[in-house]
Structure 1
Amino acid sequence: MTTPAVFREQTIDRERMQQIIAAHPRAATFEACTLDGGDFSRLDMEGFHFNQCSMAGARWLAAALEESHWQKCRGGHCDFSSAQLGDSRFAHCDLNNSHWRRATLSSVQFQDCKLTGAQLQEVTGWALEFRDCLLVSADLRGLSFRKGKLEGLDFSDADLSGCDFRDAVFSGGSLRNAQTRLTRFEGADLRDTDISGLNVMDAKHFKKAVISQRQAAAALAAFGLIVA
Structure 2
Amino acid sequence: MTASYACSSSAAAAPAVVPITGQTLSRADVLALLERGTGPLHFEQCDFEGVDLSRLELRGAQFTECTLAEASFEKSNLADSRWLGCRAGLANFQLADLTDARWYRCDLNNTSWVRSKLGSTVFAEVKLTGASFREAHTLGLSFHDSLLVGADLRGMSFRKQTIGQLDMGDADLGGCDFRDAVFEGGSLRDANLKNARFDGADLRAVDLAGLRIANVAQFFKGAVISQDQAAALVSELGVRVM
**TM-score normalised by the shorter chain: which range applies?**
over 0.9
Matching of residues 127-206 of structure 1 within 5 Å: 127-199=140-212, 201=214, 202-206=216-220
Paired with 2:149 and 2:34, the residues of 1 have a C-alpha distance of: 35
Structure 1: unaligned runs, 5 residues or longer: none
1:116 aligned onto 2:129: yes
What secondary structure sits across from 1:42 in the alignment? coil
What is the one-letter code of the residue matched to 1:88? A
Structure 2: unaligned runs, 5 residues or longer: 1-13
What is the one-letter code of the residue matched to 1:61? E
Q: 1:2 to 1:185 in 2, by over 3 A?
A: farther
Paired with 2:159 and 2:235, the residues of 1 have a C-alpha distance of: 29
User: Is the CA contact 1:3–1:27 (under 8 Å) kept in the aligned structure 2?
Assistant: no
User: Is the CA contact 2:194–2:219 (under 8 Å) kept in the aligned structure 1?
Assistant: no
- Aligned match of 2:57: 44
What secondary structure sits across from 2:100 in the alignment? coil
What secondary structure sits across from 2:232 in the alignment? helix
- Aligned match of 2:30: 17
User: Is the CA contact 1:5–1:24 (under 8 Å) kept in the aligned structure 2?
Assistant: no
1:221 aligned onto 2:229: no
What is the one-letter code of the residue matched to 1:168? A
Q: 1:200 to 1:168 in 2, by over 3 A?
A: farther
User: Is the CA contact 2:184–2:206 (under 8 Å) kept in the aligned structure 1?
Assistant: yes
Q: How many residues align?
A: 228
> Identity, % of aligned pairs?
45
Pick one of 13, 18, 33 that aligns with 2:46.
Answer: 33
User: Is the CA contact 1:26–1:46 (under 8 Å) kept in the aligned structure 2?
Assistant: no
Deviations 1:96-134 (A, max 9, x none): 111100000000000100001111111103110100000
Cα offset, 1:50, TM superposition: 0.2
User: Is the CA contact 2:172–2:192 (under 8 Å) kept in the aligned structure 1?
Assistant: yes
Paired with 1:199 and 1:146, the residues of 2 have a C-alpha distance of: 24
Paired with 2:195 and 2:180, the residues of 1 have a C-alpha distance of: 16
Cα offset, 1:223, TM superposition: 3.6
What secondary structure sits across from 1:191 in the alignment? coil
Q: 1:200 to 1:51 in 2, by over 3 A?
A: farther
Cα offset, 1:3, TM superposition: 2.8
Matching of residues 76-91 of structure 1 within 5 Å: 76-91=89-104
Cα offset, 1:211, TM superposition: 0.5
1:212 aligned onto 2:204: no
Deviations 1:67-101 (A, max 9, x none): 00000000000000110000000000000111100
Paired with 1:89 and 1:110, the residues of 2 have a C-alpha distance of: 6
Which segment drifts farther, 16-25 or 195-204? Answer: 195-204
User: Is the CA contact 2:163–2:181 (under 8 Å) kept in the aligned structure 1?
Assistant: yes
Cα offset, 1:199, TM superposition: 4.2
What is the one-letter code of the residue matched to 1:227? V
Moved over 4 A (4+): 199-202
